[in-house]
Structure formats: structure tokens, C-alpha cells
Structure 1
């Protein structure tokens, strides 16, 4: 993070940020502090909160504190967290589980995603009347309808996923994201709270690993394919890219959250489809090979593998004009996103944070 003009510079407002140790939340935290906000981060344990504090420059630490919320699915989980002195102006809700397999999809994914979202909105309405706006991290999973894709996707699109599909662990995440976001919009529509709502529907997200990441073994799911290349796990052949071929850099996602807190919204709020471009695993491999010859020799497959691009010729298109026009986003290229991600991984590895 860059330094404010002075550590005691006047705050632009106070923000509650949930899911503070998450990949996206860590970058939202950076962006909020860079823009002059005071931030209270929710974490699941004291240890995780201390890890965040330790990772922040001392000059910026005055802007950041944390509060423990152990289980966001519990009734009233956020009742105490939303109460502060001075009170909160905004809430950014990023907390939601993401993994590729579940032993109990309802308990591990759907409940935290849906009940956690409605729960925090209820708490804000009841105990934090000062909050002007809530920004929720949704997902492109709430927009896309595979395998029957539309020719072009934008914020008007909703996934055709059903609750029945959530029983399939491969579908649980995207079902949860759709119904969590639906629940948020339904709450605002029926309860008419004193705040308005914006959602960030970001696609597959790459970018530098968080400063508070303890080791590369804890890297987020979307960055895992980059780490697999860096660690030589695709040396025998590049893994298939499917099912996702769109990406966005996490710093663009973070900036989208911060700007969505304050921009004028079309009543009763706005969705923002945040997607920067297309990618494939062979393209990522080529970028790493060009920037890091030492990795090419030791970890990457032969150069001809880069030419075997599995990007589909009939891939659907996306319209991200609302995010560019309303939020002013200028999207980071795949080359820079991958390059900066690799550099952050190498720094952590050199510091002893091996996978």
C-alpha cells in the first residue's frame, strides 16, 4: 500500500470489511487504506486478525483494526461487529467460502453464502443506521449459465442454476453465489433499509498473493494454476483450462469495491460485471516463460506446449461497459497480472513460504 500524506490524515469514512484474510478482501483492504478510509476487518480468529495487523506498515496500522466473527452462518453473527464508535459509513461484504469439493454442501457453502449475506444485512438495518451503502462480493457465477451460454453476458443476466444443482459439489459454489446475491436484492426490496446496495460480479481472479499469506500452500484457488506452473507441476503437460476462460486482476476487483461504495447508483442499486479479458493456461505459460527464463528451464513444459492453446473459437463475449463507465475501471492486462502474481509468489518462496 502507498502511504497517506500523514498517518493522522483525516479519514474519508469508516468501513467494515468482512472476510478479511481472503484473497480479494486483502486487496480491498489495501485499496481502502490507500484511499484514506479507516477499516475494521472481520476475521474468524484472533490469530488471523493479528496476522493482518502484522502485515501492515506501521504508518498505516492506525487505519486498520479487526473484530472476530467466528461463524457467519450463526444468527446475529454480525450484530456486535456492525456497532462501532465512531459508527460505520459503509460495509464491504466479501466473506464467503470457495473451494472445489464439499463434504456437506449446505453446511459448508450454501449456509455461509446465503445466511451470511442476509445476516449481515439484518444486523446493519437493526444496529448500524449510519451505514449509507453495502457492497457485496458476488461472482460471475451468478451471471453465467453454462453450458448453454448466451452470446454476450452483462449485468442483466442471471444464472439459470437451481437449488437442486447444489447437491452436486461441482455446482455448489455457483448456486450459492446466485442465491446469496438474490437474497441480498430481495432483502433490500422488501425491507427498505436505510442503505443502498451494489454488487461486484467478478470473474476468475488472478493477482499478487496477500502480504498476510502464511505460505504458498494457502494460495487462493484461481491463482493455483499459476503456482502449479511456477512449481513445475505442469512440466509434463499443461492442464486443460476449462471451464473458465475469463479473468480479472484482483487489484481491479478491489478498486471496483471501493469506487462502488460512493458512486451514484441507479435505484435501488447496481450490479457490476467485473471482467478484464480472456486467458488460457498455455497463454499463462507463455507469459511466465518470456519473463522468467530460469523457470522455463526448470519448471515449464517444452516451448511448443504454449502453441497448443485450448481457448475455444466460439467462446461467448462479455460487456463490461458499466464497470468502465460508472466505476472508471481501466483493466490490467493478462501479462501484467500474471507477471506480478509470479513475482509475489517468488518473493514469498524466497522468504520461506514454500508450497
Structure 2
């Protein structure tokens, strides 16, 4: 994407800048001419984020260290800057290495981290016009009783009672933190409006500044494992998720949520298509013949279900003008980005 100075002078705070999706959001914001400040958990991580962008963009990108985005008032100081912020993009999720109590250590910080950020923006950044939150299709999908076709009107069924089940803590946190954000908007009526991106399994080029293949985003790990030969003997089940989106489309959705006035007050189900692990392996085999010896057998069965749930991404196409990257290109570009890291693959 070429440089664009259309947004010169406008400033965006992006939380969680070390993340996979955030790295692409930062790229498109800088390309569009925005000044970007991102949060990082340490100076080392912050410097790595800045060093990862194109050299001529670095003067437009800075970072602020916030070790725990979930703490009350964590971003207050970051918001009190000159010139003031125009937009906030919240991609960060609370980070815990040792979860002893799913509700106390994970769910509460996720909900309070989101509502705390909104409250801080309302109090400390009256210049902000819109907040964009990165949520998940986990807040939409109901695996207990799938909709025939999912769209933005759908909500996953999880409640606070489900959070104590470690298998459901993450999905519950996504549902309840997004619901808390919309409830905040209704009760607090701040000066800004809200847009939410609900993206599904996200593939696409990994961060240029990735220090290790072990720190890759969860979705891309199955592509990484195929490239490393870890699935050579047997393909694991694709379930429970059979939908994907390319990270570049997710980043474009965030940019559009900032630049398209009509996006305010809406959630967007951002999904590019269906997939299975077998289909990933087939694309890699065709695009990278040298890797064929590391892949599962070409005659491995495909577990893609005939009755898979559908999706309607029409709202993101109509309102945001999104055009989705096809599956083959997404997988091919992901593999190439892994090989380009030269981390022993």
C-alpha cells in the first residue's frame, strides 16, 4: 500500500502493538498518514515495534510502556498528550502467564480492561471521536447450536457461570467484554462512538519483527506446524473453527472503522471464507513443492463438514467497503513470510 498523507495531523492510540493483528493495523494507519502511538509491555518490546515498520514511517510511530493494560487507569497518562488523540484502537487483551483463577485472573481483567479503557478515554481524552475494539467471532459463534448463517446479530451464549470452565474462559471473556463495552456506551454516553471488529481465525503474513516461531499468533501456528513437518504423520482435526480471514483484511477493517463515518455504533463480522486443515496442506503442497516431504499425505481425508455453518459478511462489504483476500493467497503469503524470517525453517 502506498503512502497517503490524507490523515496527516490526526493521531491514533493503538493498544497492544506487539500483537499480530496490531502490527498490521499500525502499518495501514501509518500508510494512511496517521501519527500512531502504541502501548507496549516493556521498552524492549516498544523498540522492536518501532524498528519493525518501514524506515520512513518511524518518525510517525512512538510507544508508551504499560505493563498491564487491565489495571484501572492504566492508560490515563498515555492519553494526556499533545497533540491530543483523535482515535483509539484497542487490540490488547490482559496478559497472564499463570492463570490460577479463570474469573479473577482472566475474565475480570478482560472486562475491566475494556470498560476501564473506555472510561479513561471519556475522562482524559475528550478529543477522541471513535474507539475501535478488536473482538472475536468467539463472541458470535454458538457451537452448542450453530446458526445456519452467522452475522452481527448473533451472540455466543456464554455467561459468567461458563467462565470457571477453563475450556470456555477465553470465549466467555470475549462475549462479556464486548457486551460490557456496548453497555458502557449506553449508560455513559461519552463524546466518542464505538465500532467493534469480530474477526475469525486470522491467517496472513507474520510480523516482520517476530523474535521466535514460538511466539506466532495462534491461528498461524497450524500453518507453521505444517511447514515444520509437525503434521507429517497425521492431520489434526480442523474443528471447532472452519472460517478464516486474512490479517490484512482485518487491518483494513480497522482503518475503515476509523475513516468511514457510518461505521460508528456497529459491530462487524469480518470473515473471508471457509477452510480445513487438509485444504491448507494442499495449498502449501501446490505452492511450495520443496515442502511436500514435510506435509501430511496428499490422500489424507478432508474433515470439512458438508453441513458447515454459513456466514454473512455483507455488512463489512457494504459499510466498510472490504474486499476479502482469497484462501490460497492468504496461506501462500503466510508460508512465505515464515520462510522469510530465516528462523531455522
Compute the TM-score of the two structures, normalised by the length of structure 1: 0.93
Is 2:296 the counterpart of 1:301? yes
Partner Cα separation in structure 2 for residue 137 and residue 39 of structure 1: 17
Q: 1:341 to 1:286 in 2, by over 3 A?
A: same
Q: What CA distance in whole angstroms lies between the structure 1 residues aligned with 2:285 and 2:97? A: 28
Residues 203 and 98 of structure 1: CA distance in aligned 2, closer, same or farther (over 3 Å):
farther
Matched, 1:344 2:337: yes
Could you say which residue in structure 2 is the equivalent of 1:287? 283
- 1:316 equivalent in alignment to 2:313: no
Asked if 1:270 corresponds to 2:266, the answer is yes
Distance 1:97 1:71, change over 3 A: closer
**What's the CA shift for 1:196?**
0.2
Q: Summarize deviations over 1:243-284 as a string: whole Å, max 9, x none.
A: 000000000000000101121337x70000000000000000
Q: Deviations over 1:73-107 (max 9, x none)?
A: 21111111112110000000000158999543224
Residue deviations 1:15-49 (CA, integer Å, cap 9, x gap): 00001000110110011111111100011111100
Gaps of 5+ in 2: none
Q: Residues of 2 paired with 1:72 and 1:90: CA distance?
A: 17
**1:191 corresponds to which residue?**
188
The secondary structure found in structure 2 opposite 1:227 is helix
Q: Which moved more, 1:175-184 or 1:106-115?
A: 106-115
Provide the C-alpha distance between the structure 1 equivalents of 2:97 and 2:319, rounded to a whole number of angstroms. Answer: 33
CA distance in 1, matches of 2:159, 2:97: 18
Q: 1:145 to 1:250 in 2, by over 3 A?
A: same
| Match in the other structure for 1:252 | 249
CA contact under 8 A between 1:215 and 1:354: conserved in structure 2? no
Distance 1:5 1:270 in 2: 26
Question: Structure 1's 42 and 11: CA in aligned 2 closer, same or farther, altered over 3 A?
Answer: same
Q: Secondary structure at the match of 2:266?
A: strand
In 2, the alpha carbon distance for the partners of 1:88 and 1:150 equals 39
Residues 1-355 of structure 1 correspond to what in structure 2 (within 5 A)?
Answer: 2=1, 4=3, 11=8, 13-97=10-94, 102-265=99-262, 269-297=265-293, 299-305=294-300, 308-348=301-341, 350=342, 353-354=343-344
**TM-score scaled by structure 2?**
0.96
Deviation per CA, 1:274-321: give whole Å up to 9, x if none. Answer: 000000000000000001111002x1122112xx11011111111110
| 8 A Cα contact 1:113 1:176, kept in partner | yes
What is the aligned length?
345
Q: 1:126 to 1:155 in 2, by over 3 A?
A: same
Counterpart CA distance in 2 for 1:68 and 1:212 is 18
C-alpha separation between the residues in 1 aligned to 2:149 and 2:54? Answer: 43
Deviation, 1:3, is: 5.4
Paired with 1:88 and 1:141, the residues of 2 have a C-alpha distance of 30
